Amino acid sequence: VGSVAVLATGLLASLLTGCQTSDNEAAFRAAAARPVMLNLHRARDEVSAEPLRALTPSEPAADPVAALGQRLYHDVQLSGDDTVSCASCHDIAKGGDDGLKTSTGIKGSVGPINAPTVLNSAFNFRQFWDGRAANLAEQAKGPVTNPLEMGAAWPEVIAKLTADDGYVAAFTAAFGDAAIDEDRIATAIARFEETLITPAPFDRYLLGDQAAISADAKRGYELFKGHGCVACHQGVNVGGNLYQKFGALQSAFEIATDADKGRHNVTRDSGDVGVFKVPSLRNVAVTAPYFHLGT
């Protein structure tokens, strides 16, 4: 069963990869920079028996909030010493993460946990591995003041942005006036992240295009369903919509740091030790290393 599951997962991973490899980094970076809004096929989903759901892009109207968020997402001024941005750990052109076991923050600080991809993160039912943030705006605030990540203080960040005439104009265009605060910063970043949607050929297959994927890929999908992978990885994000005990299908892992306690850090329930949000499998071919501990 193990080898079959690996085959199924490998085939599905290739199908779900909607972002490009480094060979096409420039093209993907340009594509990802364009706001793309979600268009779910809700009527079709209601009658579909498939455990996975398709997503497709549509061309949106210009969104000044998302445009501001894109600028903030890439701006090192959000860090304490102007060296780290959101994109440092969540590089859109590299699969939406940093490719490291655990991330490196301000002044070379090494964090205790793997950075998940930001791509398609709007579809996660909660944010962070332990689910402590209810949405992307709430999540966006965390790294800014984390001493191992961006190591800043909000008053200092706000002062730097307020002194920038370009930002004053951008906040005015986005929100109607020049006021800059942490809620508006987080809202703009979240709006930009909501545009980072990466449909794949597999989505066209789910929408009825039988030629979108190969015969081997179709068999891989059937194996993926038949061997129970969909018990944890289902829905539009092929995961990201429930919690699961890490090691449920293998031996338990060592609790080396508080980060390994997962959901317990939020609930303080002993039954939640080692419980984490199930990750999405979209773009999994380019988002290694995996899981919260970067294996």
Residues annotated as part of the active site: 149
Cis peptide bond N-terminal to 289, omega within 30: yes
Please provide the DSSP assignment of 165-230 as one string. HHHHHHHHHHHSS----HHHHHHHHHHHHTT-----HHHHHHTT-GGGS-HHHHHHHHHHHHTTGG
Other beta carbons less than 10 A from residue 25's beta carbon: 15
Question: What is d(CA 286, CA 200) in angstroms, rounded to the nearest whole number?
Answer: 13
Structure tokens at 10: 């490998």
Asked whether 144 and 138 are in contact (CB, 8 A), the reply is: no
Strands (E), the chain: 37-38, 57-58, 243-245, 275-277
- Residue among 276, 279, 287, 289 at smallest CA distance from 123: 279
Residue 240 makes CB contacts below 8 A (sequence gap 6+) with 120, 121, 123, 124, 125, 277, 278, 279, 280
Question: What is d(CA 247, CA 47) in angstroms, rounded to the nearest whole number?
Answer: 34
Residue 271 burial (CB < 10 Å; 0-12/13-18/19+)? exposed
DSSP alpha helices (H): ranges in 34-164? 42-47, 64-73, 86-89, 136-145, 154-162
Beta bridge partners of 116: none
The gap between the terminal CA atoms of the chain, to the nearest Å, is 21
